[in-house]
Chains A and B, each alone.
Chain A
Amino acid sequence: MELSNIEKLLEKYFEGETTISEEKELKVYFTRETVPSHLERYKDMFQYFSEESTITATKDLKLNTGRTRTYTWVGIAASVALIAGIFLTKTTPSEPIDTFEDPEIALQETKKILNLVSQYMNEGKQELVYLNKFENTKNKFIK
């Protein structure tokens, strides 16, 4: 191709107005052995472009078809277990069971137990009398 033509194409090329086929022409031209010295600098560029288009991916694609299926089953199993768990805990009764037939006896027993509790509490409280000693000693020194 004529040199003037190439120069014109180059101008268009840098404006982004060349067509794909014109760009192919440029690529062919610049990958030749000899190019006029003032166009030498574009050689690298076009050579780079054509060289880059030959790079290939080396890793082979692996499609694990089984894997997604096992995961769905795990999901289903987990949700079933979760729902079962919720229902099982809900249905277990936790209401108090009557142990006495006669409410009168039940009242007596409860009173007995509460008395026992208060008795122990009072016993425990007696020990707290010693706390007053702290108070007294403190008052002695800090007025």
Chain B
Amino acid sequence: MKERAFITLTNGFKDKLFRLAKRLLVSNEEAEDATQEVLLKLWRNKGKMAEYKNVEAFAMTMTKNYCFDKLKAKETANLKIVHSNYKDERPSLQRELEAKDSLDWVGRIMNDLPEQQRMIIQLRDIEQYDNAEIAKMLKINETAVRVALSRGRKKIREELIKKHNYGVV
């Protein structure tokens, strides 16, 4: 496969990879790196590309795995310098300042969800993949996708209702 053909092919889903990576890693730079890494890996294995039934889904899975590895590495690196005594006991204050408008607030709620739910909402509500596709990408079954989806959405609703009732922002 020629370079140009590869780039046109991946441009179709490159942004989706980026958004998934950003959802998981939060940082813009790290998400950019993850996207590059995944696409480069794909390019290096371009010989096998014909074997993949769905390159896009495959790339999404790769992105997920890459991000999980990154998160795990971060977790172990953080363990060494964690000082629980120094933890700020008032995260809400920080959040108040950070969540400038209500859309940011939704993002914040979403990023507080467990990774699985976060990913599934990202893939379903933002990227609009159907459950079967998501199940394949994440290597879980469709029922699990639906359950996680429902839980995640309900959690977001709950937080939004809280916010509306107390007017936290």
Residues of A within 8 A of B (CB): 13-17, 20, 23-24, 40-42, 44-45, 47-49, 51-53, 55-59, 61-63, 65, 68
Query: Are A65 and B3 touching (Cβ within 8 A)?
Result: yes
Identify the closest chain B residue to A61 (Cβ): B39
Chain B contact residues, CB within 8 Å of chain A: 3, 6-7, 10, 14-15, 17-19, 22, 31-32, 35-36, 39-40, 43-44, 102-103, 105-107, 110, 122, 124-128, 130, 146-147, 149-150, 153-154, 156-157, 160-161, 163-164
Please determine whether A42 and B36 come into contact, CB atoms closer than 8 angstroms.
Answer: no
A89–B153 Cα gap in the complex (Å)? 70
Taking CB atoms, residues of chain B closer than 8 Å to A15 are 150
- Rounded to whole angstroms, the CA-CA distance of A20 and B124 in the bound complex is 8
Task: Tell me whether A14 and B157 are in contact (CB under 8 A).
Answer: yes
Q: A48-B103, A55-B19, A56-B15 are in contact. Are A16 and B32 (CB under 8 A)?
A: no
In the A-B complex, the 8 residue pairs with the smallest Cβ-Cβ separation, listed nearest first, are A16-B150, A57-B18, A48-B106, A16-B149, A16-B146, A44-B102, A56-B15, A49-B125
Give the residue name and chain of the B residue nearest to A54 (CB). B15
Given contacts A14-B154, A55-B19, A63-B6, 18 further A-B contacts (CB under 8 A): A13-B153, A14-B150, A15-B150, A16-B149, A17-B150, A41-B160, A42-B160, A45-B106, A48-B103, A48-B110, A49-B125, A52-B107, A52-B126, A57-B14, A57-B17, A61-B10, A63-B3, A63-B43
**Chain A residue contacts of B150, Cβ below 8 A:** 14-17
Query: How many pairs of A and B residues are in contact by the CB < 8 Å rule?
Result: 83
Of the listed residues A14, A48, A62, the one surrounded by the most CB atoms of chain B closer than 10 A to its CB is A48
Could you show 11 A-B contacts with beta carbons less than 8 Å apart? Answer: A14-B150, A20-B130, A41-B161, A41-B163, A41-B164, A45-B106, A48-B106, A48-B110, A56-B18, A61-B39, A63-B7
Residues of B within 8 A of A58 (CB): 32
A74 to B125, CA, bound (A): 48
* CB-CB under 8 A for A52 and B19, given A20-B128, A41-B160, A65-B3: yes
Most central of A24, A52, A56, A58 by chain B CB within 10 Å: A52
Q: Which residues of A contact B163 (CB under 8 A)?
A: 41
> Which residue of B15, B102, B103, B146 contacts A57 across the interface (Cβ within 8 Å)?
B15
- Nearest-neighbor residue (CB-CB) of B156 within chain A: A45
- Bound Cα distance from A56 to B161, whole angstroms: 30
Q: Is the CB of B130 within 8 A of A44?
A: no
Establish whether residues B15 and A55, one from each chain, have CB atoms under 8 Å apart when the complex forms. Answer: yes
The residue from B35, B127, B154 contacting A53, defined by CB atoms under 8 A apart: B127
Query: Is A63 within 8 A of B40, CB to CB?
Result: yes
Measured between alpha carbons, how far is A59 from B126 in the docked complex, in Å?
A: 21
